[in-house]
């Protein structure tokens, strides 16, 4: 609740109801002491939940009768110290009241780019320590002027105890630097607007880090950004002033508009229209769009709209559309520091909009999949991290360090799990350093000392090596958890599922307990234990990891398995095609995997949709997009089942793959693959259900495919099964850390219970 204007709200509510007492932030939340008549106290408790500030989240409310202290008025007390159990509040997009003031020429904060109040503005990104007070943030560097101090101290003001409160007289300021990093005297936003109108690229410092911006209506500007950032086809997000401004390039509905305008202001993937520039999301049927989340972005759009007067323009469709992408070199963490930006973005940015409010913790944009009604997360970042997730059990404080791709951290205290923002892939030294830095920051911020550490079963991940070293240094236990077990446990944790489940994990790969590459796994999970019931048919990976970036290699392995080896060099004209053929024939460097991700790669390449992954899941996304477009104008392809099952109930896909290899229409083939895979997976899971039907859990990066996720969920529900999938966290490896923490707590509790039984200290009741 801290940092959301909760104490001022309590103060004004108590005064309104003529109650005496006090309210204070504490290490474990907010303490309220009230004295008054029973009727008044009951009314207070009812209105506390009903009228709470928009950013407030009341997880638990405890009340008890105490001896009256003789309060005669109501006041806000100093923060109480103690063992910390409250989390940091996420950053929030600028609220409507502040936006109105921003463009009100009579307001003293007219065009002030750092306007905020208790309902909006920076929080997590500026917090150095908790409890949340100004001296514990990067705003401690700015002393309040008399006018801001009066607002801060006035109970009736919207900025009462707003820690980032400031104005042009006492607060942060913008500046502008040219491409060489030299500061210029120009108005920063006007200078940035001129560069954008010329088709150039500007780096803009926001709340959680820098973005690179250019004109989304200018194909040459988009191509220039792609070349400079070495990002040939990975999709960009587009920023528009409001939903009407975005309606020209994506299909919006009420749910998508509401999600765009939420306080976390995420990127929302929406179906694209024909007016979307081909260079923004090549090959895809959707585009990520977003609205401004800071006053800086609103003011920049105001300049690009020729500085209209008044407020009406804010709700009208406006022409400017901007590419909005994280400012970093490929694979590096998001840049947050002014000097670092001007050094590392040399040759990419033609100008820099800077400010002197330090960013203590970086946060990328959150990303949401708007093609599904429940809008699952793709990336959990600004505006969402590090919101707490309540676990189904309490246990030892745990540090979970996640996996290799899409790394996040999770740290727990009791039954509270704090999952970090997206860090990145650990094939980059800066991302590895970011993991270590963020782990230390979260432990200090939340005042949690881990009693145990948990990592992936794979011993060579940087996260695994970090966990081993940390456990040795601190002298605490280290647990290792199988990758797909953690995927499924993460979903169980967020839904607080404690009963046994049947889990399907589909992703790129994870090391199995047999030291093989798993990735299409059917598991039964009971507590901290699991049983592998089956897996997708294994296929060869010619060249090992190389196949993950070159889908044609997985397609070649399918042709070899179909005894159509001669087609490899006919279909694929890559220089290594002959070598790969020989590798398959000699079974040299061709490890086996049950990976669903490589299956999607193989099908995309067999259909001629994508032979090389420019970025992770490139081929799989293009395959889904091709099926999605086909289904806009056609029904699902209807063919008899092409997936067979072994006596053990495992699916065999060869007949389906042979049909796809001969398909003439890639769209039809992509839709057929999805239809048959959904039907086959449904049949597979039902065949493994015991007489007492178990709930079903779906997890793993392949379930970012919304055709697969929705289709499989609907069929399983029609069969009478309860289905759980990720909602609070992404289903990909970004959720692994929560699953690791959940299993480690269960393991520790189980070990402690066994020790107590052995000593005669534990008794089941």
| Residue 594 to residue 536: CA distance in whole angstroms | 5
Boundaries of every domain in the chain: 6-76, 174-369, 386-495+729-754, 535-725
Give the dihedral of Cα atoms 730, 731, 735, 736; nearest 10 deg.
-160
Q: Are 725 and 504 in contact (CB under 8 A)?
A: no
Query: Largest Cα–Cα distance of the chain, in whole Å?
Result: 92
Tell me the whole-structure pTM to 2 decimals.
Answer: 0.92
pLDDT of res. 753: 63
Question: For the segment 417-464, what is each residue's pLDDT rounded down to a tens digit?
Answer: 999 999 999 999 999 999 999 999 999 999 999 999 999 999 999 999
| Residue 410 to residue 418: CA distance in whole angstroms | 5
Span between the terminal Cα atoms of the chain, in Å: 36
pLDDT of res. 80: 60
pLDDT of res. 327: 96
Question: For the segment 27-64, what is each residue's pLDDT rounded down to a tens digit?
Answer: 667 889 999 998 999 999 999 988 888 777 787 888 88
Residues 6+ apart with CB under 8 A from 565: 559, 581, 584, 585
pLDDT of res. 765: 21
Give the pLDDT band (50/70/90) at residue 758: very low
Give the dihedral of Cα atoms 87, 92, 98, 103; nearest 10 deg.
160
Quickly list DSSP for 226-256.
HHHHT-SSPPPEEEESSHHHHTTTB---HHH
Least confident of 76-80, 104-108, 326-330, 356-360: 76-80
pLDDT of res. 512: 97
With H, G, I as helix, E, B as strand and everything else as coil, classify residue 302: helix
Residues 6+ apart with CB under 8 A from 610: 283, 551, 604, 618, 619, 622, 623
Give the pLDDT band (50/70/90) at residue 314: very high
Tokens 């309060």, residue located: 71
Q: Are 529 and 592 in contact (CB under 8 A)?
A: no
| Residue 355 to residue 122: CA distance in whole angstroms | 14
DSSP 384: T
With H, G, I as helix, E, B as strand and everything else as coil, classify residue 666: helix
- Sheet with 398-400, strands from edge to edge, namely 388-395, 410-419, 398-400, 452-456, 478-481
Residues 6+ apart with CB under 8 A from 453: 398, 399, 400, 401, 467, 470, 471, 474, 476, 477, 478, 479
Whether 654 shows a pLDDT value over 70: the answer reads yes
**Third-level CATH fold of 535-725:** Nucleotidyltransferase; domain 5 (3.30.420)
In this structure, whether the domain defined by 386-495+729-754 belongs to CATH 3.30.420.360 is answered with yes
| Residue 581 to residues 186, 517, 588, 603, Cα–Cα distance (Å) | 61, 22, 10, 18
pLDDT of res. 24: 85
Whether 76 shows a pLDDT value over 90: the answer reads no
Least confident of 23-27, 195-199, 735-739: 23-27
Same fold, 174-369 and 535-725: no
Question: For the segment 611-628, what is each residue's pLDDT rounded down to a tens digit?
Answer: 999 999 999 999 999 999
Give the pLDDT band (50/70/90) at residue 648: confident
Give the pLDDT band (50/70/90) at residue 763: very low
**Third-level CATH fold of 6-76:** Alpha-Beta Plaits (3.30.70)
Q: Are 69 and 33 in contact (CB under 8 A)?
A: yes
In this structure, whether the domain defined by 174-369 belongs to CATH 3.90.870.40 is answered with yes
Per the prediction, the chain carries an average pLDDT of 93
pLDDT of res. 764: 23
- Find how far residue 2's CA is from the centre of its chain: 22
């Amino acid at each position: 609740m801290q940092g959301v204007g909760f104490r001022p709200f309590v103060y004004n509510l108590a005064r309104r109801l003529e109650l005496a007492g006090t309210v204070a932030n504490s290490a474990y939340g907010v303490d309220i002491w009230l004295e008054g008549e029973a009727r008044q106290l009951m009314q207070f408790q009812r209105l506390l939940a009903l009228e709470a500030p928009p950013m407030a989240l009341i997880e638990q409310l405890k009340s008890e009768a105490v001896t009256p202290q003789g309060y005669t008025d109501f006041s806000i007390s100093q923060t109480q110290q103690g063992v910390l159990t409250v989390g940091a509040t996420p950053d929030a997009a600028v609220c409507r009241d502040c936006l109105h003031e921003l463009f009100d020429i009579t307001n003293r904060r007219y065009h002030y780019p750092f306007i905020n109040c208790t309902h909006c503005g920076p929080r997590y990104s500026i917090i150095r320590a908790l409890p949340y007070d100004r001296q514990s943030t990067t705003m401690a560097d700015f002393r309040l002027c008399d006018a801001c101090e009066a607002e801060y101290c006035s109970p009736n003001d919207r900025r009462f105890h707003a820690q980032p409160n400031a104005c042009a007289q006492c607060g942060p300021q913008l500046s502008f630097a040219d491409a060489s990093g030299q500061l210029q005297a120009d108005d920063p936003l006007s200078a940035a607007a001129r560069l954008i109108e010329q088709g150039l690229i500007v780096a803009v410092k926001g709340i959680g880090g820098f973005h690179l911006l250019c004109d989304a209506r200018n194909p040459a500007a988009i191509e220039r950004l792609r070349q400079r950032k070495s990002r040939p086809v990975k999709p960009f997000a587009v920023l528009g002033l409001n939903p009407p401004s975005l309606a020209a390039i994506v299909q919006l509905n009420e749910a998508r508009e509401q999600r765009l305008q939420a306080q976390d202001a995420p990127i929302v993937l929406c179906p694209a229209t024909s007016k979307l520039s081909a260079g923004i999301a090549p090959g895809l049927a959707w585009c990520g769009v977003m609205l401004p989340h800071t006053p800086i972005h609103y003011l920049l759009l105001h300049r690009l709209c020729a500085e209209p007067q008044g407020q009406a323009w804010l709700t009208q469709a406006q022409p400017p559309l901007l590419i909005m992408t994280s400012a970093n070199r490929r694979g590096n963490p998001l840049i947050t520091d002014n000097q670092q930006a001007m050094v590392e973005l040399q040759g990419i940015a033609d100008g820099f909009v800077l400010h002197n409010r330090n960013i203590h913790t970086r946060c990328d944009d959150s990303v949401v999949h708007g093609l599904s009604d429940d809008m699952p997360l793709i990336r959990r970042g600004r505006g969402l991290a590090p919101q707490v997730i309540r676990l189904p059990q309490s246990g030892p404080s745990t540090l979970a360090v996640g996996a290799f791709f899409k790394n996040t951290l999770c740290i727990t205290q009791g039954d509270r799990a704090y999952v970090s923002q997206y860090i990145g892939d650990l094939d980059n030294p800066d991302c590895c350093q970011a993991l270590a830095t963020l782990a230390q920051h979260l432990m200090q911020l939340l005042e949690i000392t881990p009693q145990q550490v948990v990592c992936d079963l794979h011993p060579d991940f940087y996260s695994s090596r970090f966990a081993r070293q940390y456990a040795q240094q601190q002298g605490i236990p280290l647990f290792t958890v199988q990758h797909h077990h953690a995927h499924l446990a993460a979903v169980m944790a967020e839904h607080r599922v404690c009963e046994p489940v049947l889990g399907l994990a589909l992703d790129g790969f994870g090391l199995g307990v047999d030291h093989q590459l798993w990735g299409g796994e059917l598991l039964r999970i009971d507590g901290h234990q699991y049983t592998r019931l089956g897996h997708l048919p294994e296929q060869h990976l010619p060249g090992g990891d190389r196949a993950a970036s070159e889908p044609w290699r997985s397609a070649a392995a399918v042709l070899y398995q179909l005894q159509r080896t001669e087609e490899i060099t006919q279909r694929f004209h890559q220089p290594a095609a002959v070598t790969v053929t020989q590798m398959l024939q000699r079974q040299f460097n061709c490890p086996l995997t049950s990976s669903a991700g490589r299956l999607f790669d193989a099908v995309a390449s067999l259909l001629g949709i994508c032979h090389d992954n420019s970025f992770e899941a490139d081929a799989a996304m293009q395959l889904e997009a091709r099926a999605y477009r086909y289904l806009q104008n056609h029904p699902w392809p209807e063919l008899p089942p092409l997936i067979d099952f072994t006596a053990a109930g495992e699916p065999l896909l060869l007949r389906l793959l042979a049909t796809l290899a001969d398909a003439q229409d890639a769209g039809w083939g992509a839709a057929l693959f999805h239809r048959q895979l959904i039907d086959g997976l449904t049949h597979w899971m039902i065949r493994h259900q015991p007489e007492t039907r178990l709930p079903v859990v779906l997890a793993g990066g392949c379930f970012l495919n919304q055709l697969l996720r929705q289709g499989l969920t609907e069929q399983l529900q029609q069969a009478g099964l309860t289905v759980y999938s990720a909602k609070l966290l992404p289903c990909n490896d970004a959720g692994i850390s929560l699953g690791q923490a959940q299993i480690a707590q269960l393991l520790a509790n189980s070990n402690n219970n066994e020790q107590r039984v052995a000593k005669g200290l534990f008794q089941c009741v």
